[in-house]
Structure 1
Amino acid sequence: MKLAEIPREKKISKADFIEKYYRPQKPVVIEELIEDWPAYKKWDLDYIKEIAGEKEVPLYDDRPISSKYKFNEPHLKMKMADYIDLLRSKPTKYRIFLYHLMKEVPALQKDFFYPKIGLNFIKQLPMLFFGGENSTVFMHYDIDFANIFHFHFHGKKECILFAPSQTRFLYKVPHALISRQDINFNSPDYNKFPALKMAEGYITELKHGEALYMPEGYWHQMTYLTPGFSMSLRAAPRTLTNLSKAVYNLAFMRYFDNYMRKLRGQKWIDYKNEQAIVKTHKKNKIKV
């Protein structure tokens, strides 16, 4: 695919970040933004196992969305210590997301600060995201259209991003925040998904302590190249348009989709996946 390297800054002032990246809504990796955080030196899998090993955590893998599971229903649960042992023992698709580990383990809250980078961060407890080697978070954008700073710890992580302007090429599933889950964005099938040839995105590899800025509404796919974990801080959308989209997603879209899943089951999911292709090809005047 047409994927340019995300720009990198070793350090950056608040003024330069706002001028070069926030206002034009462009992604950037800042390599030395959090070196003053206790987390920068402390946070690795051994530390998490020591401080949170007895907590039971929800796990998810990369199986396609189906009517069998409710929205965000975990596929498995186990103690954090056992999960970290699993991560270290072999590649696994199991991931942790949407789990308030910082609420469960308050000591972790002392290990980070909100960066003075010019954003008004939402002061809620951030969530941590864990993954095993080669596990992937499918291509999606966030429901609240937030501006996101994504910090990675322990190991390496590949990030593929697309701006909202590229949505027309990405086979977005209707009434959802995802593209079709059978697309391999590292090696796409252009015979089945020809619109992807026109998409232009970004790619980077995050290492321990690096921060990725993702502007509001950006699509992103994350692949853990090694076992590791990440944390995101969020700031509200800048524009009334994106704020209204966030309100619609939170107040209506997700409830409508849950209702239709309950009403029609797998037929609803299959219909949406079919419409992702139909609508994308129609929008781009592709005949197949």
Structure 2
Amino acid sequence: MSNFNLVDKVENITKKEFKERYLSTNTPVIFKDLAKNWRATTKWTFDFFKENYGDWEIPMYDDSYHNPGNGYMKPVSHKKFRDYLNIIETKPTSLRFHNFQIMKRAPELAKDYETPTIMNGFLKFALMFFGGKGSALNLHYDIDCSHVFLTHFQTQKKVYLFPQEQSQLLYKLPYTNHSHLDVLNPDYNKYPAYKYAKGIEATIEHGETLFIPKLWWHYVYYSKGGYSLALRANNSLKTKAKGLSNLVRLFTVDNGMNYLAGEKWKHYKDQKAEENAIKAMQEIKSV
């Protein structure tokens, strides 16, 4: 496993202190109290979602999410929300439910949380992520260049983070924002450069909020079944424009080539990622 330091945990921090210590330095941090006044921290239980929204049909994703072909980045099945919540509450599963714009489906839930005032530029956009014990969201970074504030509920989640400068050591796949590398169980024969990567480990407990700075790589592991709310902030017109460009370019090229070339396109990306990683590793060794 790579070398992991622990993310700071803070409380009662001011907007000025946050900017100086974490925002300006692009450094992850966990807020113990950013969501302390949210109704969601007591209201959003497994039973609450099952009782009020259990009949929703929701898409299911698993470890095949990035496999080439017709199923690339598509759901493997659909389930009743109630049935899925029963699964993740009681047993391990690889099934995940992610990037869900829950406030579009249930706008009344927006009353249960508050837009943070810790920085400017929060977007009127919220996503929820659900996962069972042992499931993981692959190593990736958010290409829209937004900062992410991830608040977890009920249980515990671990997030492993790496700065953008280590992209090549993480075997970044060209024309994408992700990697096939399994951060917790790496195959060093296949990914030897990963030995030189240095990451940060964050353990988010119920009601805590992880600040993921823009373009930081993150691998999300559900140590227990649970769910999180992600709010995004971007206070720069320049980074907003860059993010939009990234979204159009990466999704258009990658999805288009996957449709046209499938396995050949996957092989090309894997090969380029390996070449770049070896080059980065050799540069480190030569110092």
- Is the TM value for this pair above 0.5? yes
Residues 1:280 and 2:277 are matched in the alignment: yes
TM-score, normalised relative to structure 1 = 0.93
What is the one-letter code of the residue matched to 2:266?
I
Q: Is the 8 A contact 2:62 2:76 kept in 1?
A: yes
* 1:13 Cα deviation after fit: 1.1
Q: Look up the SS of the partner of 1:205 in the other structure.
A: strand
Aligned to 2:121: 120
How many residues align? The count is 283
- Which has the higher mean CA deviation after the structures are superposed, 132-141 or 9-18? 9-18
- Runs of 5+ in structure 1 lacking a partner? none
Aligned to 1:41: 42
Aligned to 1:11: 12
TM-score, normalised relative to structure 2 = 0.93
Matches within 5 A, 1:138-287: 138-179=138-179, 181=180, 183-236=181-234, 238=236, 240=238, 242-285=239-282
What is the one-letter code of the residue matched to 1:267?
K
Q: Look up the SS of the partner of 1:123 in the other structure.
A: strand
User: Partners of 1:9 and 1:136 in 2: how far apart?
Assistant: 26
Q: Look up the SS of the partner of 1:122 in the other structure.
A: strand
Q: Look up the SS of the partner of 1:127 in the other structure.
A: strand
Q: Is the 8 A contact 1:147 1:237 kept in 2?
A: no
* 1:256 Cα deviation after fit: 1.1
Two-structure CA RMSD over aligned residues (Å): 1.8
- 1:11-68 Cα shifts (integer Å, max 9, x gaps): 2111111111001110100111111111011112111111210111111011252233
Structure-2 change in CA distance of 1:238 and 1:284 (3 Å): farther
- 1:220-261 Cα shifts (integer Å, max 9, x gaps): 011111110001111126483x44542332122210111111
The alignment-based identity, stated in percent, is 35
Q: Look up the SS of the partner of 1:152 in the other structure.
A: strand
What is the one-letter code of the residue matched to 2:280?
K
What is the one-letter code of the residue matched to 2:27?
K
Residues 1:106 and 2:107 are matched in the alignment: yes
* 1:149 Cα deviation after fit: 0.4
User: Partners of 1:253 and 1:159 in 2: how far apart?
Assistant: 24
Q: Is the 8 A contact 1:51 1:105 kept in 2?
A: no
Matches within 5 A, 1:69-84: 69-84=70-85
User: Partners of 2:93 and 2:161 in 1: how far apart?
Assistant: 23
Q: Look up the SS of the partner of 2:167 in the other structure.
A: helix
- Runs of 5+ in structure 2 lacking a partner? none
Matches within 5 A, 1:87-106: 87-106=88-107
Q: Is the 8 A contact 2:149 2:232 kept in 1?
A: yes
Q: Look up the SS of the partner of 1:221 in the other structure.
A: strand
Q: Is the 8 A contact 1:67 1:265 kept in 2?
A: yes
What is the one-letter code of the residue matched to 1:78?
K
